[in-house]
Amino acid sequence: MEEIDNMWFNQVMMRRGKVEKLDRDDHISDRFVGRARLNVNDLLRRRTEEKKIDKKANLIILSSVATLVVVVLLILNL
């Protein structure tokens, strides 16, 4: 009877080990399944949006520097 219990216990433990191993392997493979293809149109649209944001930031920086120069010149002339 004890041998049967040990065999049953070993089979259960072996099955658990296989299940855990499969779960781990499935988790690893899930990272590679969901990848979509690269869309060039989407990349171009993102780049044009980034260019717009960069232009606005550059305009703000340039106008700030120009304002600072004007203020310094006014202070020096007075």
**pTM greater than 0.85:** no
3-state SS, residue 47: helix
Which among 51, 31, 48, 29 is positioned nearest to 40, based on CA atoms? 48
- Residue 78's pLDDT band, with cuts at 50, 70 and 90, is confident
pLDDT single digits (tens) 10-41: 666 666 655 555 555 555 555 555 667 889 99
CA 69 to CA 48: how far, in whole Å? 31
Q: Where are the domains of the chain?
A: 2-77
